[in-house]
Amino acid sequence: MPSAVERPFGLLAELTYRCPLHCSYCSNPLDLAAYADELTTAEWRRVLTEARELGVLQLHLSGGEPLLRRDVAEIVQCAGELGLYTNLITSGLGLTPHRAEELLAAGLDHVQISLQADEAALSDRIAGVRSFEHKLAAARLVKQLGWPLTLNVVLHRHNVDRLAGILDLAEQLEADRIELAHTQYYGWALHNRGGLLPSRAQLERAQEVVRAAHARLQGRVDVVYVLPDYFSRYPKPCMGGWGRRQLTVVPDGGVLPCPTAHTLPLPRASVREHSLAWIWERSPLFQRFRGTDWMPEPCRSCDRREVDFGGCRCQAFQLTGDAARTDPVCHLSPDHGLVAEAVAAADEGARSGEVVLTPRRHPAAGRSR
C-alpha cells in the first residue's frame, strides 16, 4: 500500500435501507428503491475479509434496520472469525430474546440502540410508529445478556428540550454510553430542516443540561454531546478527513468515504466491480478530496486546513451546489450566510410555533437474505 494512504480502522456496513421507522430526520438516500439489490451473505463475507486485510478493526452493522436481514448472525460470526470488533446499530425493533441469543452465540461485541425521546407519546410520534416500549425492552435485554449498551439520540427542535429526561432514562437503563448527536441535514433531514433545526435558546439550555450530566454521571455513563454544525464557528472534519480512516459499504455494494457521499456528482465505486483495497487506494472517488491539494481559498491558506479538512463535502454541495467549496458552516466561508439565514429562520420558527414535518416513508423493497 502506498505510504501516503492511511489504513482505515472502521467499516460501516449498511446492510439494508429497509426500516420499520419513519423518522423525519432520516439521512439515508432519497431513492431507497435504487438499493434493493442487496449484497448476498457470500458477498458480505468477501467484503469483510478484504476489509480486515486492508487494516479495518471495527465493524459497525447498520442500515436502515440491520435486523431485517436474516443473515446478521452469520455476518457477525464471520467478522468475529476475522478478528473484527462488531457493533450492532439498531432501532431495537426485532431484537427479540431469540434473535439476541443468536447474536450472542455468534460473538457480537456491542449494541447501540436509537432513542427518539424519554416518553412514549413523543418518541412514537418522532419515529412514526409505536416503538418506545420495544426500545426499552431491547435495551434491558442487552444489559441482561451482558453486552455494553450505547444509546444514540438524534437531537432536533422536538426533543432537545427533553434532554434531562433522556439522560435520566439512560441512567435507569444502565447504559454505558449515550451519544447525543444533533441532526445532520442530508437527505430527508434536509427536506425537513425548517421544522427540525433548534433555536439558539434551545441549544443554550441543552448545553447547560449536558454540562450538569457530565458532572453527575462521571464514571457511570459516558455522555457524548456533539454540537450541531450550524451553530459551530468552524466545521467538523468529514469522518476525520475524506478517505483517511473510515469507509462505508451500502446495501448494493457501493463504497463511500462517508455515509452520505452518494449525494455527490462523483464516479461511483462498488465491491461488485473492484476490491476494497483498489477502491480505498486508487479509486477516483476516494482520491477526490483526500489531503489538502484540492482546497480553494480560504481553506488553502488557513492554518486549520489539516484540522477540519475544509469541512463536510456533502454539506458544501447540498448548500452551494459545489462539493469543492468551503463548508458554509465555517464563519470564514463566503457562503456562510446560507447557514446564518437557516439559524435565523429556526429562531423565528421557534417564536412563531410554526412546525411542519414530513415523515419518511419506505418502499416495500429489497431482497431479504
How far, in Å, CA of 282 to CA of 287, rounded? 7
Cβ neighbour number for residue 363 with a 10 Å cutoff = 12
> Which residue carries 432514562 as its cell?
169
How far, in Å, CA of 224 to CA of 206, rounded? 13
Could you say which DSSP state residue 288 is in?
T
Confirm if 93 and 134 have CB atoms less than 8 A apart: yes
How far, in Å, CA of 57 to CA of 245, rounded? 11
SS3 category, 125? helix
SS3 category, 268? coil
Strands of 222-226's sheet in order across: 222-226, 177-182, 149-155, 110-115, 85-90, 58-62, 10-14, 246-249, 255-256
Query: Binding residue per annotation — 26?
Result: yes
SS3 category, 154? strand
CA Rg value for the chain = 20
Binding residues for [4Fe-4S] cluster: 19, 23, 26
Binding residues: 19, 23, 26
